């Protein structure tokens, strides 16, 4: 799985990298039955996507190997939003894929700075597989001398506390550095936090937003 402790996210990402038509198709067109899911995408030795597993645990092989520009490593797994038509119970026709930044929480002392510039918050939810916490966030962005601005994001683990009932709660902080990116317009991005294999019983996640700090708690067990 391709993951970064410190992830650079560009201001603008295309919605559907492999969709090449803007035409509207009436009736049962190619996109009329399209489904969209967050998924783990399997990439083969030729850097082609060949299969995926959704957060609901449904697995599909692709009707044809698919290549997208951001898949640069062979024989690995990428996190993505995948657009597809379900052909059979275990087979899907790929229509497009968008890369999803995936972060591993690290102890706070591993970071040189713990910047928490505010960000727009839409939602946060635990994947059915309990493997990820997914976020829908709003980044205020703009261009600097015709170049897209960037945001630096990561997740810090402050501590893991043992509660009175002997359960464990991990406290995470979402880190965000606006850098010198201007705030001219807003883009939505989906981000996943990969939970540790030996996960705590609950996770408490704090995010600094433009209206104050919010906290969300997730029961993992």
Reading the chain (221 residues) residue by residue, the pLDDT tens digits are 544 444 444 333 333 333 333 334 445 556 668 999 999 999 999 999 999 999 999 999 999 999 999 999 999 999 999 999 999 999 999 999 999 999 999 999 999 889 999 999 999 999 999 999 999 999 988 877 766 667 889 999 999 999 999 999 999 999 999 877 888 889 899 999 999 988 899 999 999 999 999 999 999 98
In the chain, domain spans: 14-99, 102-219
pLDDT at 49: 97
Class of domain 102-219 as given by CATH? mainly beta
Other CB atoms within 10 A of residue 41 CB: 25
Q: Please give the model's pTM, rounded to 2 decimal places.
A: 0.84
Architecture of domain 14-99: Beta Barrel (2.40)
pLDDT at 144: 73
């Amino acid at each position: 799985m391709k993951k970064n402790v410190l992830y650079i996210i560009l201001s603008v990402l295309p919605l559907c990298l492999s969709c090449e038509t803007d035409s509207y198709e009436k009736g049962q067109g190619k996109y009329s039955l399209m489904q969209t899911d967050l998924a783990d995408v399997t990439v083969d030795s030729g850097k082609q996507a060949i299969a995926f597993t959704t957060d609901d645990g449904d697995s599909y092989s692709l009707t044809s190997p698919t290549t997208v520009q951001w898949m640069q490593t062979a024989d690995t797994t990428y996190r993505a939003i995948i657009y597809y038509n379900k052909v059979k119970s275990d087979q899907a026709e790929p229509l497009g894929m968008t890369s999803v930044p995936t972060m591993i929480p690290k102890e706070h002392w591993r970071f040189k700075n713990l910047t928490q510039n505010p960000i727009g918050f839409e939602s946060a939810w635990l994947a059915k597989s309990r493997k990820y916490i997914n976020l829908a966030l709003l980044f205020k962005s703009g261009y600097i001398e015709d170049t897209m601005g960037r945001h630096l994001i990561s997740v810090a683990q402050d501590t893991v506390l043992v509660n009175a009932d002997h359960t464990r709660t991990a406290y995470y902080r979402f880190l965000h550095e606006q850098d010198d990116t201007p705030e001219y317009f807003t883009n939505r991005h989906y981000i996943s936090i990969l939970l540790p294999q030996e996960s705590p019983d609950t996770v408490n996640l704090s995010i600094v937003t433009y209206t104050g700090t919010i906290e969300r708690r997730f029961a993992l067990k």
